[in-house]
Structure 1
């Protein structure tokens, strides 16, 4: 049984735990050394299998690396002792990021994803799940420095928030995002361990850990369904590359090295994006009605036959009349199959009709004859005329360039005014010369899927999902049409003109109407004072949402400083200097239009900084963040420059207030606001 009996002899508890940590690290090194020593010569049937096996072993070796600054285990479970005829028995499990066993195969650390580990996250005094003691460990780097016990079976001991858990949450954030495996809460754990077949949507306010929950769910599913997902694949989709670089180390620290990451733009990169739509055109192109327009357009070239098909084989001529050809075409048009698949079926239908006639004439043709007839020049010519091939990019080019063609395909779907809004003012000459926009690329992706089915993955995580257009949801949905998804977002943080108004609507466009929505409202990152201040905006930006709360209290961590216009930039730089006196990372967030001036001011003041996506270190802990890129990021200290400029930088006030809500909620320990213009009225209430 996977258990370690508690030691019988008395020993200093901390020293005993350090000894177990040292022994566990030695066992992990032995596991890695054993894997490195495996001789796979002559154990595979061919070189292809040998290459695959060698690759798997290399990944296994990489996954068994001992990360010096990453705690190997973070918790312990002691179960109630039982007395039977063989004596007294007790079971102890160390919970960590990966499984470690000794030379005999007995476990020294249990993977946090294993069923036996679940009580570490779920057990409570109300439901101890047979756990007598839960121990949490505190670390400084990779060194074990403290422990904290909860006696779940002791009715006299009060249930309190773990001090070590608080300390882990409040650790300074320098570098990429960390995993939360040591601090997962019961409501988060329920989502993480959900079934692979289920699609779940997580609505979470700032700092509720929704991104971490999504990443840990991927890690859990890979543990529980590794072979299946190895075949079908997994994908994490983020809003931009800066965000993906920020989260990219979470899964590797959990031992998962093969999960791919992409943005929606990268998924639909059939053409080079060099243009940009205005808000009206982008919103219309992202409207789900465009799928109906494209469906019509893809089939617009299909023409009913006007002449029979005459197939010559040897001395015989076989004739398929117009009315029979018409029935074939109409039947294919009525079926919900991809355009290319229907185009491939038509010559086979015609060939089958010829074979029927051959059999009626006394011949005995087989499948080879049918395939030969389908490749006959007369049949191929007829099919090309009736069901011509479609190039998705050329089709969208024509749709956006030719008013008459667009009017025909959009009749009854888009108004004349809406059609004019999406037409190119100056049509390009070719696909290559076109200044395609991001929304155009999504239309081309839709057309590609109408022509040939998009491949589906086993599981997709979609983060910051509230900002996607209906057509973008459809593009993501195609990538998990036969799999499942974890959808993460916050309606209140929707900052695009087409941001979704409800998760029910978003899930419908994604093709996952049966998904259930989980709401996380308990914050662990943003201090209580800060989230309460930011929540003043909720009635204006998302009145249907509950206000997030926080377990974090950081007295004196919040300040709003009003200055004269000429003093705004100096005051912002002074706030940055003050923030940098504290440990951890500092983010200077400002309206995009203010970034060039602030960049120059930082350089002149000798304050080194990095851009979003670049990794901070002990010498450069300041990041200059345009408000448009702040979503999903977090910093120990945030200096927010001129909130009204953030609002004014968006096309409408509601979107601007949502952008401000995002900027206000990036802080983990402290927030300083510097402003010269009056604060938005919604913050002054």
Structure 2
């Protein structure tokens, strides 16, 4: 078929031919779980499926050629300096990595055939686009596969029968171990075709999970796609119930923004912030699978790792240290060393002496303090401001000093000694150490902000001997980060994704907010899953602490991951843990997905092991989740039963598909089948009942295919089924 000339802004694909455009219904070849409907012509060597496979072969060959072109680039003498040469070489290596053809990752997953009523020479009446994870073009530059982030691809995700967006046909492809095995068509402009749930889409969502998190680029839903394609300039906060895909939305939004603003974000950087390393290991393959290999990942603790954390706060201390009032306490502490001048300054230049009276020095110090700049920047400016005052006197005396004279005065011993007395150097860690270790200094800085009880809660039990040996906690490290930014501005990135944000304290929000103070953010979370004493109460409050008050809050309530039976069971807890939230729903019903088994109290562990063995009869990953204190007992029982298991964060494989998960680390993870051991113990393992019920809500909503709850103690009364009104 002839192709249209390539235009990068709006690529023109192969014009749609009548044979494929006329095919109807669902066609499937040995695709498990997908209904089979043999379409006319499929048995021939030139049926629709054969033509799609031929396009796949051509696309893979073109991708190999693109990668070979990148690998064969001669970078000799292409840069002016060795630094530029290394930067260019690094860029080429990233390009080569992005062009990898992953054997188990479909090169394209969809196709749209467009029919334009307003056809022009530049836009024919019929067009066809293949949608995939990355752009692929042939030797002439004509596109064979369009990147899912391209503007034209938007209609693949958002077109509906009510709003077809010129899409006459949307085709989804089914894959088995990297091979194209099925296709399924929707004729959006055909009034006689009934709307049905996509069997291929459902099969992809339910595909067993072994290993890290997969991308959802083939199954993005319209409401998710709208969030993914939001502009870079705006911060968006996504409140999403379990299984609504909020984490995937955040990761795909990063990929979309990198595609749309690549040069800008290459300069400013992007970062994904997660709750723990297990979670980050779980999601770390999503962006590389989408061709993005330059996105940083970190936990909040890693962002603020200024001091060695070796102690743990009491809940009361952590609550106070995480309070936003600590920002003002720290500001007072950092600036407490600045003193008001009481004596005149005399600067000797050659044979002359220049005197600056104390009242003028007072004005200079007061003016710098009022400007709202960082402590370190103001200190650097102080020497220049004093030197400028001396220069004014020189000019008044008839001299003609220039900038070199001012710099010399600023570096003179007299000025340097004065600056040292008036505006001493501040080391952030030492300021925090003094604040927490000296009751009198804390009382002075916390005056009218913290009560005596709150001050007593955060004071260290005894003075620390040095920064390295101090009893630093994770919350203390956040305070050091705040003090560091008060002294010298911490660099900001172009975009930050903050996942599981509901568990952050106000001071942690401020730490993340510093990293996107000149950029934007995607905030992801679920208020019902907040399990810390300082858990977020409203997203508006969280955005304010983040410094992104203009951010927009969006809600995802339709779930795809968790079966309806499971989410309905877990949602019984919502009136107790988040009465203002609407329960999430699910598009997937799976009879038998929920089983609750009661065993004699002394046999609960054995019953749990039997449940794991039963779960292993199914395909996919299995997560055994229990209260943290119960893990040693369960690990020993699994070992005695000959059932190997992994720790969270380690990739499952065909040889070992069972992971033993402490309830405290379950957030954000997902498994095909989940066995929950003793829900009452999960609740009892938290400081208070509401937090315990929230932890249980998290635990119950981890499965994709089925949930088996084993208990010997009574279930929490909040899980009792309530009659429908």
Do both share a fold (TM > 0.5)? yes
1:72 corresponding residue in structure 2: 107
Contact residue 344 and residue 356 of structure 2 kept, 8 A:
yes
1:601 corresponding residue in structure 2: 637
Counterpart-to-counterpart distance in 1, 2:418 and 2:119 = 84
1:339 corresponding residue in structure 2: 375
TM-score calculated relative to the size of structure 1? 0.99
Contact residue 82 and residue 88 of structure 1 kept, 8 A:
no
The residue matched to 1:237 in structure 2 has which SS?
Answer: strand
Of 146, 167, 181, 2:182 maps to 146
Q: Are residues 1:474 and 2:484 paired?
A: no
Aligned positions of 1:436-447 closer than 5 A: 436-447=472-483
Summarize the Cα distance change of 1:645–1:83 in structure 2 as closer, same or farther, 3 Å threshold.
closer
Contact residue 455 and residue 478 of structure 1 kept, 8 A:
yes
Per-residue CA deviation, residues 137-180 of structure 1 (Å, 9 max, x unaligned), is: 00012100100000000011122221110000000010000000
Per-residue CA deviation, residues 221-263 of structure 1 (Å, 9 max, x unaligned), is: 0000000000000000000000000000000000000000000
Structure 1 residue 7, shift from structure 2 partner? 4.2
Structure 1 residue 42, shift from structure 2 partner? 2.2
Structure 1 residue 330, shift from structure 2 partner? 1.1
Counterpart-to-counterpart distance in 2, 1:351 and 1:313 = 12
Structure 1 residue 94, shift from structure 2 partner? 0.2
Structure 1 residue 47, shift from structure 2 partner? 2.0
2:90 corresponding residue in structure 1: 55
Per-residue CA deviation, residues 180-207 of structure 1 (Å, 9 max, x unaligned), is: 0000001000000000000000000000
Summarize the Cα distance change of 1:457–1:348 in structure 2 as closer, same or farther, 3 Å threshold.
same
2:433 corresponding residue in structure 1: 397
Q: Are residues 1:568 and 2:604 paired?
A: yes
Aligned positions of 1:476-555 closer than 5 A: 476-555=512-591
Summarize the Cα distance change of 1:83–1:521 in structure 2 as closer, same or farther, 3 Å threshold.
closer
Counterpart-to-counterpart distance in 1, 2:469 and 2:119 = 81
Of 422, 427, 447, 1:411 maps to 447
Structure 1 residue 213, shift from structure 2 partner? 0.1
Summarize the Cα distance change of 1:88–1:478 in structure 2 as closer, same or farther, 3 Å threshold.
closer
Contact residue 15 and residue 124 of structure 2 kept, 8 A:
no
Deviates more, 1:551-560 or 1:280-289: 551-560
Contact residue 465 and residue 488 of structure 1 kept, 8 A:
yes
Contact residue 82 and residue 90 of structure 1 kept, 8 A:
no
Contact residue 569 and residue 598 of structure 1 kept, 8 A:
yes
Counterpart-to-counterpart distance in 2, 1:427 and 1:565 = 48
Aligned positions of 1:91-490 closer than 5 A: 91-490=127-526
2:617 corresponding residue in structure 1: 581
Counterpart-to-counterpart distance in 1, 2:596 and 2:621 = 20
Contact residue 210 and residue 657 of structure 2 kept, 8 A:
yes
- The answer for unaligned runs of 5 or more in structure 2 is 1-10, 20-40
The residue matched to 2:103 in structure 1 has which SS?
Answer: coil
The residue matched to 1:623 in structure 2 has which SS?
Answer: strand
Structure 1 residue 210, shift from structure 2 partner? 0.2
Deviates more, 1:240-249 or 1:38-47: 38-47
The residue matched to 1:166 in structure 2 has which SS?
Answer: helix
The residue matched to 1:91 in structure 2 has which SS?
Answer: strand
Counterpart-to-counterpart distance in 2, 1:89 and 1:662 = 50
Per-residue CA deviation, residues 269-304 of structure 1 (Å, 9 max, x unaligned), is: 000100000100001000000000000111111110
Counterpart-to-counterpart distance in 2, 1:138 and 1:572 = 36
2:15 corresponding residue in structure 1: 5
> What is the aligned-residue RMSD (CA, Å)?
1.3
Counterpart-to-counterpart distance in 2, 1:300 and 1:107 = 63
Counterpart-to-counterpart distance in 1, 2:204 and 2:440 = 62
Of 34, 54, 57, 1:19 maps to 54
Counterpart-to-counterpart distance in 2, 1:84 and 1:246 = 47
Counterpart-to-counterpart distance in 2, 1:88 and 1:39 = 39
Counterpart-to-counterpart distance in 2, 1:500 and 1:47 = 49
Q: Are residues 1:42 and 2:52 paired?
A: no
Contact residue 481 and residue 511 of structure 2 kept, 8 A:
yes
Counterpart-to-counterpart distance in 1, 2:678 and 2:116 = 61
Counterpart-to-counterpart distance in 1, 2:465 and 2:716 = 47
Structure 1 residue 611, shift from structure 2 partner? 0.3
Counterpart-to-counterpart distance in 2, 1:379 and 1:238 = 47
Counterpart-to-counterpart distance in 1, 2:313 and 2:228 = 38
Counterpart-to-counterpart distance in 2, 1:591 and 1:81 = 58
Counterpart-to-counterpart distance in 1, 2:636 and 2:344 = 74
- The answer for unaligned runs of 5 or more in structure 1 is none
Structure 1 residue 427, shift from structure 2 partner? 2.1
The residue matched to 1:385 in structure 2 has which SS?
Answer: helix
Counterpart-to-counterpart distance in 2, 1:606 and 1:150 = 49
Deviates more, 1:534-543 or 1:151-160: 151-160
Aligned positions of 1:606-617 closer than 5 A: 606-617=642-653
Structure 1 residue 334, shift from structure 2 partner? 1.6
Structure 1 residue 89, shift from structure 2 partner? 4.7
The residue matched to 1:262 in structure 2 has which SS?
Answer: strand
The residue matched to 1:219 in structure 2 has which SS?
Answer: helix
Q: Are residues 1:682 and 2:725 paired?
A: no
TM-score calculated relative to the size of structure 2? 0.93
Counterpart-to-counterpart distance in 2, 1:542 and 1:444 = 33
Contact residue 529 and residue 554 of structure 1 kept, 8 A:
yes
